[in-house]
Structures are given as C-alpha cells and as structure tokens.
Amino acid sequence: MIATKIIPDFSAPVHIDQVGIEERASRFTKRSIKNESKINGLKLALNMIDLTTLEGKDTQGKVKQLCYKALHLHDTYPGLPTVAAICVYPSMVKTAKIALRDSGVKVASVATAFPSGQSTRDIKIRDTKYAVQNGADEVDMVISRGKFLEGEYNFIFDEIAAIKEACGEARLKVILETGELVTYDKVRKASDIAMYAGADFIKTSTGKISPAATMPVTLVMLEAIRDFYYKTGKKIAMKPAGGISKSKLALHYLVMLNEVLGEDWLNNEWFRFGASSLANDILMQLMKQKTGVYQSADYFSID
C-alpha cells in the first residue's frame, strides 16, 4: 500500500495570539548569560552567519574579497570558526565557488527574481537551475507575496515545490518577506505552506524591506517548525535575516532557538543569521573579551 502525503487545508484560518507571542519574545531578551557562555555563543553565532553581498554594483572583486574575509576571520582572533556561507546573485556563484575552494563554507545564491519575486515560474525555475549548475549549495527563493495576499495558497505551494525540484541536491531556503505579510497569522500560514511544499529552511526576509527579522516573527516561525516536526518527524531549518547587527541581539535569538527547538537546532545546519554586519560586531565583542578594550570598527573590513 502506497502512503499518501497529507497536506493541510491552507484555506483554514490561522489565529496567533499577538500579545502572547510578543510577551514571550520579550522574555528571551531578559535572560542572564555568563561570560563563558557568552563567548561560546558569540562563536556559535559567527559560525551561523551567511555573509552576503546582493547589490547591483557587485563585481567579481567584491565577491572575492567577501570570500577572503570568510576564510580569514582567524587572522583577527585565532581559533575562530568560519561563517556558514557566502550568499550572492546567480551570476557570481562560480566566482564564489572558486574562491572558497574546499573550505567547507557553502555558496548560497538568491534566485526566483529576488527580491520582488515578480516573474514567471518558468524564469524562476531557469534562474534556480542556473545557480545550481554553477555550483550553488543552497538557493534562497522568494515567494510570490502578491499571490499569497490574494489567497492563492495552492499557487504558492506549487511554486515552492517546483523550485525545490529544480534545486536538485541544493538546499532550499524559502523567503517569506514577513514585512510584507504584516500579521503573525499570515506569517504562520506562509511558514506552514513552505514547509509542506518542501522547504529545507524558512527565512524571514530579503533584507530589502522594512521591517525585516524581528524576534516575535521569528518566534512564530520557530513554533511552526516545532509543530511541523511533531507532526511529520522532519526537521526544518530557520534563517532570520535583516536587522540583526548586534551581538547581544544575536545571543537573544540563540536563547529563543534553544528554548523553542532545543540543542539539536543549535548549529549552522539548522539555523542561520542573514546579517553580514553582525560578523564585525561579534569580532569586536570577542576582542573586547580577550583584551579588555574595544577596537575601532575601522580595524575590521566592511566586506
């Protein structure tokens, strides 16, 4: 007997307790973290970062410099881990792949008409295949928010499933662009659709829309991952992106991650930060812990 895949009725209403979510997210920021745990947490957060350059003025030289930074963080502080990945446009994937060699740092590529998502499915699939054929280990797609807001949930499901198929062996991060979804109810519904359609990660934002990642929105998505895991036994990864530039905030996110999903998610296979500026702040904080004084931001490369 062939088992059938059970897919929920996405037209059913979703109700998230806004007050409860915001109060619980706030409590995670009040946890006391001891010094040794803080240092370990900062190193863990660094290892979870996707260093990113997604500008129209990107050049091969800029991408190579970003890759160099990813591979030489220990020059500033010996013994540091690498970041998790470098994220670039499909046209820069091959450049990043060559620069990173066999370092273990992944190459991620945005696709599917990033950041708007306003294109045809055929073009989005070709965009994805181009990135993978050039060596992308991971693909960050954007959902069609207009279709979602029109209630075309089956369209969103089918689109994600098609992009997942086009990814082949590459892992798929599905960007919800939560700042445009507005409500926690819609964020939860979009999270559920993405996971059932085959997402390997669910991701908050492109970083091009404000607000980007917030702790309450991330909490809604973490709880969706937890519930999906209880129902299916399948682990889904999480990536908050945009607006996480300070080490203290990153540690708050890790506390929340640990309390909602547990230690199994406390690694870069299952959690990422889309926050390039966070890397420099972590380096500054670690140097402060080591030397007792803050170094100027001028001592750290921007990219």
> What is the distance in angstroms between the CA of the first residue and the CA of the last residue of the chain?
55
Separation between Cα atoms, residue 182 and residue 186, nearest integer Å = 7
**239 has catalytic annotation:** yes
Please enumerate in sequence order all residues whose Cβ is within 8 A of that of 53, keeping only pairs 6 or more positions apart, or say none: 62, 63, 66, 87, 88, 92, 276, 303
CA separation for the pair 300, 303 (Å, rounded): 9
Answer whether residue 76 shows pLDDT above 60.
yes
**Confidence grade of residue 4 (pLDDT, cut at 50, 70, 90):** very low
For 70-80, what is the mean pLDDT? 82
Question: Which pLDDT belongs to residue 228?
Answer: 97
Which pLDDT does position 3 carry in this prediction? 43
| Whole-angstrom distance, CA of residue 217 vs CA of residue 176 | 11
Whether 2 has a pLDDT exceeding 70, the answer reads no
| Closest residue by Cα to residue 145 from 172, 109, 183, 108 | 183
Distance CA 193, CA 189 (A): 6
pLDDT tens profile 127-182: 999 999 999 999 999 999 999 999 999 999 999 999 999 999 999 999 999 999 99
pTM (predicted TM-score): 0.93
| Residue, of 13 and 301, whose pLDDT is higher | 13
Q: Which of 37, 129, 77, 144 lies closest to 291 in space, CA to CA?
A: 77
Q: Which amino acid is at 277?
A: S
pLDDT of the residue at 153: 97
pLDDT at 34: 80
Q: How far apart are CA 254 and CA 216, in angstroms?
A: 14
**Exactly one of 106, 124, 189, 239 is catalytic; which is it?**
239
DSSP letter for each residue of 43-82: HHHHHTBEEE---TT--HHHHHHHHHHHH-GGGTSTTPPP
For the chain, domain boundaries:
34-294
Q: How far apart are CA 222 and CA 202, in angstroms?
A: 9
Judge contact between 48 and 85, C-beta under 8 A: no
Q: One of 69, 186, 189, 203 is an active-site residue; which one?
A: 203
Q: Above 80 in pLDDT, residue 1?
A: no
Q: Please check whether residue 172 is in contact with residue 163, taking contact to mean a CB–CB distance below 8 angstroms.
A: yes
Structure confidence by residue, pLDDT tens digits, 84-112: 999 999 999 999 999 999 999 999 999 99
Collapsed DSSP state (helix, strand, coil) of residue 147: helix
Annotated active-site residue in 50, 140, 200, 281: 140
Domain 34-294 belongs in CATH node 3.20.20.70: yes
Q: Report d(CA 218, CA 204) in Å as an integer.
A: 7
212-266 per-position pLDDT tens digit = 999 999 999 999 999 999 999 999 999 999 999 999 999 999 999 999 999 999 9
**Interval 15-44: pLDDT, tens:** 999 999 999 999 999 988 888 889 999 999
Q: What is the pLDDT of residues 274-297, one digit of tens each?
A: 988 899 999 989 887 777 666 555
Q: According to the model, what pLDDT value does residue 296 have?
A: 56
Contacting residues for 156 by C-beta, under 8 A, at least 6 apart: 143, 144, 147, 148, 190, 193, 194, 197
